[in-house]
Amino acid sequence: MFEIYRFNKEDEILWDEFVSKSNNGTLFHLRSFLNYHPNNRFVDHSLMILKKGKLFSVFPAAEIIYGNKLYLISHPGASVGSFVLPEKFAIAESMELAQSLVDYSKKNGFHAIRITLPPNLYQKRISNYMEFSLFKQKFEYFKRDITSILFLENSHSLTVNKFRDSHKRAVRKSMDSGVVIEQSNDYDSFYNILKENLKIRHNVNPTHSLKELKLISSIFPKKCKLFGAFLKGEMIAGVVNFIVNDHVILAFYISHNEKYSNYRSVNLLFYHIFNWAIEKKYTIYDFGTFTVNNEPNMGLGRFKENFGASGIFRDTIQLVI
């Protein structure tokens, strides 16, 4: 029933139009997002899946060699991947689609398939058909991360009522200290804060370079939003938000200047971001993961819980062929 062929540049418009109308497509599935990476960074091996001659699904992916073995991987340039699917999607179709992926991978010399699944709550109509069908093909968990999800209520006051008292006090303290929250395009100031913060805490660099972050912002001015906390005109903290789809926002980068940590500006940032998100009719705020190599960062997890968030899986599964 399904015909699979490898994506090529001529398919970009068709691909992005399909993602925008799908049940589970996200910003990370768009070719216009994936294309910000330099051409030589990944060997793209994304797939187009046809049913009766019409586009039925897309699968963003790349090929990578691990230990002399060729892997088909959810596109490494995106936080999540897997099949993008229509809202009307039957169990029989998911079973055949999973089988078709395995058959294609065998035919094209892949030794393994690794897929990072978006959280189920990213879907318009929640379904586990695809995961069920992949596990029927003997996929196994490669890793399981936890991401913190906050359900936004219809009003700001109801959402803030979910905050624990410590966070409510922190918000008031930040307000009383003169911290001001604004949307900003000052990625240079934010990146300096982010880079220094990651160096102090984890001795790592940001996932994106400053140039890449600015490029994403320029390509997606409506989907990439920086909120900054300012004290006497100086940015002391910020959050870069990615608008994942029409109901989910993801906090991609959260950072603050350690010198001003007592001002509790990050708490005030989220207080204002939630208000903005509710006005824009978004219903889910994803704070991002707080697990590394299956180990939770307890302090970070607790910080997000204090806003009323709870944890759900962001899974990566794998099949060794």
Residue 319 lies in a domain: no
pLDDT at position 203 is 74
CA distance linking residue 182 with residue 185, whole number of Å: 10
Q: Which two tokens stand for residue 244?
A: 């994942």
Q: Please provide residue 11's backbone torsions phi and psi, each rounded to the nearest 5 degrees.
A: -90, 0
Residues 230 and 303 in one domain: yes
Find the CATH number of the domain harbouring 61. Answer: 3.40.630.30
CA distance linking residue 60 with residue 45, whole number of Å: 7
Residue 321 lies in a domain: no
Say whether 155 sits in a helix, a strand or coil.
Answer: coil
Q: Which two tokens stand for residue 123?
A: 């879907």
Residue 41 lies in a domain: yes
Per DSSP, the chain holds a count of helices (H) and strands (E) of: 10, 16
Residues 158 and 56 in one domain: no
- Specify burial of residue 168 (Cβ count, 10 A radius: 0-12, 13-18, 19+): middle
CA distances from 16 to 4, 9, 58, 84, 308 (A): 17, 12, 10, 11, 34
CA distance linking residue 94 with residue 54, whole number of Å: 16
Residues 34 and 182 in one domain: no
CA distance linking residue 124 with residue 147, whole number of Å: 19
pLDDT at position 207 is 84
Residues 186 and 260 in one domain: yes
pLDDT at position 134 is 98
Low-confidence stretches of the chain (pLDDT beneath 70): none
Residues 132 and 159 in one domain: no
User: Does the global pTM surpass 0.85?
Assistant: yes
Residues 252 and 224 in one domain: yes
Say whether 312 sits in a helix, a strand or coil.
Answer: strand
Q: Please provide residue 66's backbone torsions phi and psi, each rounded to the nearest 5 degrees.
A: -120, 115
Residues 121 and 179 in one domain: no
Residues 128 and 159 in one domain: no
Q: Which of 138, 170, 205 is the last residue of a domain?
A: 138
- The set of residues, in sequence order, having a beta carbon less than 8 Å from that of 124 and lying 6+ positions away, is 23, 24, 87, 247
| CA proximity to 49, closest of 90, 4, 103 | 4
CA distance linking residue 245 with residue 20, whole number of Å: 8
Read out DSSP for 60-125? -EEEEEETTEEEEEE-TTSS--S-B--SS--HHHHHHHHHHHHHHHHHTT-SEEEEEPPPGGGSSS
- Specify burial of residue 30 (Cβ count, 10 A radius: 0-12, 13-18, 19+): buried
- Which is it for the CA torsion 227, 222, 46, 208, positive or negative? negative
pLDDT at position 292 is 84
CA distance linking residue 7 with residue 14, whole number of Å: 11
* Structural domain of 173: 148-313
Compute the C-alpha angle 56/4/28, nearest 5°: 60
pLDDT at position 76 is 86
Cβ(97)–Cβ(62) under 8 Å?
no
Q: Which of 138, 173, 203 is the last residue of a domain?
A: 138
- The set of residues, in sequence order, having a beta carbon less than 8 Å from that of 51 and lying 6+ positions away, is 1, 2, 3, 93
pLDDT at position 195 is 93
Residues 180 and 290 in one domain: yes
Residue 291 lies in a domain: yes
